[in-house]
Structure 1
Amino acid sequence: MNSIKASMKPIRRSRLRLFVGKRYFIWKRYWLWYTRRGKLAVHRSGDRLPYTIMEHATPLLRSLRNVDMQFQYNKITNLRLAVAKLDGLLIRPGETFSYWRSIGKPSKRKGYVEGMVLHYGGFQAGIGGGLCQLSNLIYWMTLHTPLTVKERHRHSYDVFPDEQRTQPFGSGATCSYNYLDLQLTNNTDSTFQLNLWLDDTHLRGEWRCTEKPLYKYEVYEKEHVISLEPWGGYIRSNQINRRVMTRSGEIAGDEHITDNHALMMYSPLLHETTSSS
């Protein structure tokens, strides 16, 4: 773990290196898409499957320090466009869902606008900004299903304090077209359906299934710690686990999901003082 924390010390890189590096990973992912064929989830249905497995909602607007609220309104436009590509998607046995292959590349031509994009511990304007809220929602709901997470990327920076947070730290999935993807595989014998929509205040979603679920899942964090590193930065770490429970409530298992480590971009002491006032 110490080596992981040491590697998180910020390194200044030139704009050219950042540009070239990003293009390298984008084209590498295109090559993988071309050379590695698999059973992709591509079919959608307007008819809802009979059993609800998990449902969740996150607020569309959140006041963030030093962030123009217009980016929040623009995010809603971007979310509506992406949701229209995913709502009703079926993941049949043996199929894999890819976030970016389903949504496609966000562009002005498709109607996407500038939203807030997290960038190396800060934020900037970017076409399609705000779609991480959607990938976060899908990942969190998926942790409450028997679907297998094939690819997920954690946030490397903890940019904003925990105000209004309702989920454990590190329980989301960051995304960046196309090399930071969220992929889910259905290794069960049942078909799952992803339903998504927006109302006036929230982004909402649910997983539905052809069969009544055998288990329920309780996701929780453990070993949460904030450490001051020798080079002067704060690293926030935890583990995400989940309890697997039968329909009657008996614990059938306790699974380790992932470890999280993020460089904090605000003072944890300042946040504690603010929270107590």
Structure 2
Amino acid sequence: MRRAVLAVGLVVLSAFLAAVLFAGSPDRLPAGTTVAGFDVGGLEIAGATQALERRFDRLQRTPVRFVAGGRTFSYTASQLGVRQDWQGAVRSAAEAGGGFAPLRGLKRVQTRLFGTDVVPHVQAYPSVVRFAVDGVADAVDRPAVDAGLVRRGLRIAYTPARAGLRLDRARASATIVSALASLERGAPVRLPVSRTEPKVRREQLAEAALAARTAVSAPVTLQVGETRFRLPRWRLAQLLELPRGGETRVGLGGPKARQWLASLKSSVDLAPRDATFRVVSGGIELVPSRPGRTLDVAAARAAVEKAMLSGTSRVASVATSTTDPARTTAEAKAMGITGIVGSYTTTYGGTPGRLHNVQLVANLIDGALVAPGARFSFNETTGERNAAKGFEEAPVIINGELENGIGGGVCQVSTTVFNAAFEAGLSIEKRTNHALYISHYPLGRDATVNYPDLDLVFRNDTNRWILVRTFVGSGSLTVNLYGAPTGRRVETETAPLEVVGKVPWKRIDDDTMFKGQKVVEQFGAPPRRTSVTRRVYAPDGTLMYDTTWSSYYVGEPTVVRLGTKPRPKPVEPERPTTTAADEPEAPADTTVRRGTVPQTPRP
């Protein structure tokens, strides 16, 4: 027993002495210590750090070759900003072999026997590393290619499947940084690349290939109503969409098919046409309505695809839908528009703007329809006459004076409409004469309008519709009212144009003329009035209307320009030696710009 205890004691003592013997200096790293695979055993801490730094400095610009997908790429540590914390690694190695002498000795014995490698902390520029990895991926990555079908003329062939490659970017980044941080440069480093398999292989396309060959095997007949179209094989080949993107289906599709379907719709579609009326020599005739037709594109595509994929029935019947017109032929006949019930023509001229406005507003009322018992309103039919609608400036009467304004010339049309309704014997509910007398309009039968306050309104008091048509010539305007001829008789009495006052006078002071000088700029006209009485008789002689329209026209002033500039003082001549008779004083200067009593320009 004592011998055993003694033996154990000797062993412990021997171990203690060995630990003390191998403890060494705490300022030196234990033998068997490596940092990043580099032997630093026995070196002082500062010396080991310097040795590592010198070693890495020599390798910073030495490239490391990387291999991926059969391609080689080279990078250096300095390019990617790779750097290690050598001082921290050495300090960690020292701490692993440190402590009190006996304990330190035991640790160092273990390090000497089994070795210790310290991996330093590594840093790099993340964006630069990412850029490098992206470059490798761009060169290496290759998507898998599915097996497919291709058309060569009218022949359908297979395209082979092909596996793809994909770089594992996360693992590749770590591998590149680790290799550049190493203190060794040797064989190329392989980067992690995985293989990607195609989704569709040739055997999966056998059914699609058979369908594609059937599609182009014979023509297809397309039937739209009574019309038949023939789609030849080459056209069917253009419309055929072969499998792609992992699909295995064959059908009608693709840009060519969409273009063809749009063209088919354009040729098949027919807009509905309302029944309308056409002016002919001596009257008017009915133009029948026509129903519309619309192609159902989705149904047409399905029908053609079904026929082209069929080996037996290669006829595609395409359905269309019918669109009814807003006014049928029967409805138009029931309107009873068979002839002219009233017509009037006026002549016109003036500035280009006025001529343009006459044509524009005539087009706005052309084709207006007035139901039995309904009112025709000039303002409601044309809407506001403004520049946005294309109206231009022309002479127009504003507050009893002739000025330029938007829409000058519109009253030419309203006056013509009034007279057409007047001659038709229709009920006229609103009419206003112009402020100034206009000689080229029928006496007392002019009609002015101004949106929205002054309107021209007549009522269709017949039992049939009335159609308003306008016809604009180079210098004349005709308005016809078409409906069912009424047989009414219209008698008219027009009172003479009567002067009811003096010509107004307007003075304008002119400081460019001397006092006493006078110029007549414009001769005016007196205020005048007239009236028109219309009696309308039914075919049986019954008096329907006995209406008088009175018109009052304001006077147009004579405009006189008077000088206000003082005259210069006369220079007195030298007195003669003999007495001369007194000469009479010269009269004041008067100038008259001669003219005639004005005819108001056409508004």
8 Å contact kept, 2:503–2:527: no
Q: From 133, 138, 159, give the equivalent of 2:412.
A: 133
2:537 aligned with 1:258: no
Q: Per-residue displacement from partner, 1:189-236 (whole Å, max 9, x unpaired)?
A: 122221102112211111111x22221213331264212269888331
Output the amino acid matched with 1:147. Answer: L
8 Å contact kept, 2:425–2:536: no
Mapping for residues 176-191 of structure 1, pairs under 5 Å: 176-191=450-465
Post-superposition shift, 1:256? 2.9
Residue 423 of structure 2 aligns to a residue whose secondary structure is coil
Q: Per-residue displacement from partner, 1:46-101 (whole Å, max 9, x unpaired)?
A: 4443211222221221xxxxxxx5xx221221122212221121111121111111
Aligned mates of 1:115, 1:187 — CA distance in 2: 36
Residue 424 of structure 2 aligns to a residue whose secondary structure is coil
How has the CA–CA distance of structure 1 residues 145 and 266 changed in structure 2, closer, same or farther, with 3 Å as cutoff? farther
Mapping for residues 156-235 of structure 1, pairs under 5 Å: 156-158=435-437, 160=438, 162=439, 165=440, 167-168=442-443, 170-209=444-483, 211-222=484-495, 224-228=497-501, 234-235=526-527
2:51 aligned with 1:51: no
How has the CA–CA distance of structure 1 residues 135 and 106 changed in structure 2, closer, same or farther, with 3 Å as cutoff? same
- Give the aligned CA root-mean-square deviation in angstroms: 3.1
8 Å contact kept, 1:241–1:254: no
Residue 196 of structure 1 aligns to a residue whose secondary structure is strand
Residue 479 of structure 2 aligns to a residue whose secondary structure is strand
Aligned mates of 2:597, 2:548 — CA distance in 1: 27
How has the CA–CA distance of structure 1 residues 212 and 187 changed in structure 2, closer, same or farther, with 3 Å as cutoff? closer
Residue 52 of structure 1 aligns to a residue whose secondary structure is strand
Aligned mates of 2:486, 2:460 — CA distance in 1: 14
Quote the residue 1:37 is aligned against. none
Greater mean deviation of Cα atoms: 253-262 or 111-120: 253-262
Aligned mates of 2:455, 2:342 — CA distance in 1: 22
Output the amino acid matched with 1:56. Answer: Y
How has the CA–CA distance of structure 1 residues 45 and 78 changed in structure 2, closer, same or farther, with 3 Å as cutoff? farther
Q: From 349, 360, 368, give the equivalent of 1:89.
A: 368
8 Å contact kept, 1:243–1:251: no
Post-superposition shift, 1:240? 0.8
Output the amino acid matched with 1:221. Answer: T
Output the amino acid matched with 2:442. Answer: Q
Aligned mates of 2:348, 2:503 — CA distance in 1: 38
8 Å contact kept, 1:239–1:256: no
Aligned mates of 1:115, 1:135 — CA distance in 2: 16
Residue 363 of structure 2 aligns to a residue whose secondary structure is helix
Quote the residue 1:25 is aligned against. none
Output the amino acid matched with 1:167. Answer: P
Aligned mates of 1:54, 1:154 — CA distance in 2: 21
How has the CA–CA distance of structure 1 residues 101 and 136 changed in structure 2, closer, same or farther, with 3 Å as cutoff? same
Which stretches in structure 1 are left out of the alignment for 5+ residues? 1-42, 62-68, 273-277
8 Å contact kept, 1:108–1:127: yes
Aligned mates of 1:166, 1:134 — CA distance in 2: 11
Quote the residue 1:101 is aligned against. 380
Aligned mates of 1:208, 1:184 — CA distance in 2: 14
How has the CA–CA distance of structure 1 residues 223 and 123 changed in structure 2, closer, same or farther, with 3 Å as cutoff? closer
How has the CA–CA distance of structure 1 residues 55 and 146 changed in structure 2, closer, same or farther, with 3 Å as cutoff? closer
Aligned mates of 1:255, 1:127 — CA distance in 2: 36
How has the CA–CA distance of structure 1 residues 79 and 46 changed in structure 2, closer, same or farther, with 3 Å as cutoff? farther
Q: Taking every aligned residue pair, what percent have the same amino acid on both sides?
A: 20
Greater mean deviation of Cα atoms: 52-61 or 133-142: 52-61
Mapping for residues 146-161 of structure 1, pairs under 5 Å: 146-158=425-437, 160=438
* TM-score between both structures, scaled by the size of structure 1: 0.66
Aligned mates of 2:366, 2:407 — CA distance in 1: 18
How has the CA–CA distance of structure 1 residues 77 and 226 changed in structure 2, closer, same or farther, with 3 Å as cutoff? same
8 Å contact kept, 1:144–1:219: no
Aligned mates of 1:126, 1:46 — CA distance in 2: 36
Aligned mates of 1:264, 1:231 — CA distance in 2: 6
Output the amino acid matched with 1:259. Answer: S
8 Å contact kept, 2:492–2:534: yes
How has the CA–CA distance of structure 1 residues 264 and 230 changed in structure 2, closer, same or farther, with 3 Å as cutoff? closer
Give 4+ residue runs of structure 1 displaced > 3 Å after superposition. Answer: 43-49, 229-234, 243-248, 250-254
8 Å contact kept, 1:115–1:127: yes
Quote the residue 1:12 is aligned against. none
2:534 aligned with 1:242: yes
Output the amino acid matched with 2:532. Answer: I
Aligned mates of 1:254, 1:96 — CA distance in 2: 17
* TM-score between both structures, scaled by the size of structure 2: 0.32
Residue 172 of structure 1 aligns to a residue whose secondary structure is coil
Q: Per-residue displacement from partner, 1:107-137 (whole Å, max 9, x unpaired)?
A: 2222211111111232111112110101011
Aligned mates of 1:243, 1:106 — CA distance in 2: 33
How has the CA–CA distance of structure 1 residues 244 and 148 changed in structure 2, closer, same or farther, with 3 Å as cutoff? closer
How has the CA–CA distance of structure 1 residues 185 and 266 changed in structure 2, closer, same or farther, with 3 Å as cutoff? same
